[in-house]
Structure 1
Amino acid sequence: MLKQIMNCPFQGDLGNIYLEGKVLELIARQLHKLGSMHHEACTDFYPKDLERAREAYHILLKRIERPPSLQDLSLMVGMNRNKLNHCFKQLYGGTVFNVLRQARLSKALSLLHETDSSLSEIALSVGYSDQANFCNAFRRHFGQTPNLVRRKGLAGISVH
């Protein structure tokens, strides 16, 4: 898919629409991968546990700007913190914190291409109060700074 992005056959507004579609496809593929990564291994939990973990996941996505703490999230879904983290690892391939970070950075990548918002606005909209922390997390995850990604489009991004 990165080859398709790097070799965008369109320019101008049509190119932007094409890249936006590819960003959305990339996000959808990553979320699908996270959701099905360990689906077979979920036999350790009761169905109600999995339902609660999925509810917690949706809460995180809805409140991505200001997500609840792990303790508060656990209380909201009626599940022990350790069990919630373990269930997240089984369902989504990472801890609650790791899954939240992945969702934040994926949304930030999308916003970089879909909007003209400043980096500080994007950082705030995905839950980073400090732009420097956001830029560092983005660079660690994607291998490039948000400014460089915005200037170059998606070329060269390695998706983890």
Structure 2
Amino acid sequence: MIITLTMYEDWELWAEANPNSLQQLKPEPFEIVREMPQQLGKGYARLIEVYPHFWLMIVDYKYRDDMLIKIPEWDHPLQFLVYLSGKITDEYGGQLGEGYTCISGSGVQRQMTTQLLKTRYVGVDIEMPPELLATFFPDEAGEIPHQLRLLAKGNDWQTLLYPETTTAIQGIAQQIINCPYEGMTKRMYLQGKVLELMALQLAPILSAQDGIQPSPRLKADTISRIHYAREILSAHLENPPSLLELAQIVGVSDRNLRRGFKEMFGTTVFGYLTNIRMEQAEQLLRSGKLSVAEVANLSGYSQQGHFAAAFKRKFGITPRECLSGKRSILPS
């Protein structure tokens, strides 16, 4: 049996099962324990505020049935996840658990459906405002390092990354889950461990962007298939296939598809899609035949605010300014 819920329905079930959770601070003043709703399964989630506005959640629960969670388009915080047990997948080919961690950047999360199996989930979930990257990992000017700015997208589409689970990452996650201390010593211990875990997840991203770990060259056949994938995206801007569907159509794995786009076009599959959508949007607006709302809809945006932010990010002007004839102030 498969249970299907929206993200908000899932949240409501947890809230109903823990009506006084904000008052039940156990066993520490900075810790909240929430029981899993009986309708879903058994277990708990422990929320710990390790720094102000910086939350660590430790989960240990088991679902009664396989689950599908429908996630709407929404403003997502910066999130680091490591699961030692269980697996979560989405329709775009993302996978958390069984060999992969997840860094879910801040920004607008696209609509998606995630699948969770009838199994035990044990893991660590870190959530924080993206601005705190400048506090914990500052560059020389005290700002977010340029390599990490892809994790702070504001009103643009978020970045989703799936670093591999290493032995070191597993070890730190296990230490967090089995913290042997209490009181302020516990909080201090966890403060160090969560930063260590984040650093381990970010390490391959920083190395790759610095050119330390270049990817192996793609085969000629793979290159032609990646070009074919690009043509398919260009022809289906309003309703593009998912990452898995696109990979199946062109005959490559989703991992090779992601890697190939990064190597050949310098961006992700959906980064490329967003870019050509914006270029088409500019042409439509300059034609003067459609309204901003109509162009936003044709470009795949259900909210004009998100469309306007993405458009201004690329061209330096708003869609309304473009419609009125103002020229771009940024190179495309």
Tell me the TM-score range normalised by the shorter chain: 0.5 to 0.7
Partner of 2:301: 128
Partner of 1:150: 323
Write the distance in 1 (CA, Å) between the matches of 2:329 and 2:258.
29
Question: Tell me, what secondary structure is at the counterpart of 2:240?
Answer: coil
Partner of 2:287: 114
> Which structure's residues are more often strand, by fraction?
2
Partner of 2:312: 139
- Paired letter, 1:74: A
- Paired letter, 2:277: R
Q: For structure 2, which runs of at least 5 residues remain unmatched after alignment?
A: 1-213
Partner of 1:55: 228
Question: Tell me, what secondary structure is at the counterpart of 1:159?
Answer: coil
Partner of 1:159: 331
> Which of structure 1's runs of 4+ aligned residues deviate more than 6 A?
none
Write the distance in 2 (CA, Å) between the matches of 1:42 and 1:55.
21
Whether the 8 Å contact between 2:286 and 2:325 is mirrored in structure 1 is: no
- Identity, % of aligned positions: 34
1:64 aligned onto 2:64: no
Whether the 8 Å contact between 1:42 and 1:91 is mirrored in structure 2 is: no
TM-score by length of 1: 0.68
Partner of 1:104: 277
What does 1:60-99 correspond to in 2, within 5 Å?
A: 60-99=233-272
Gap change, CA 1:75 and 1:112, over 3 Å in 2: same
Write the distance in 2 (CA, Å) between the matches of 1:114 and 1:43.
43
User: For the pair shown, which has the larger CA radius of gyration, 1 or 2?
Assistant: 2
Write the distance in 1 (CA, Å) between the matches of 2:251 and 2:264.
17
**Structure with the larger RCO, 1 or 2 (CA within 8 Å, 6+ apart):** 1
Instruction: Kindly state the Cα deviation for residue 150 of structure 1 after the two structures are TM-superposed.
Output: 2.0
Q: For structure 1, which runs of at least 5 residues remain unmatched after alignment?
A: 1-40
- Paired letter, 1:157: I
Whether the 8 Å contact between 2:311 and 2:318 is mirrored in structure 1 is: yes
TM-score by length of 2: 0.34
Whether the 8 Å contact between 1:139 and 1:145 is mirrored in structure 2 is: yes
Instruction: Kindly state the Cα deviation for residue 48 of structure 1 after the two structures are TM-superposed.
Output: 1.0
Any idea what the Cα deviations from partners look like across 1:102-130, whole Å, max 9, x if unmatched?
10001101111113201111112122222
Partner of 2:23: none
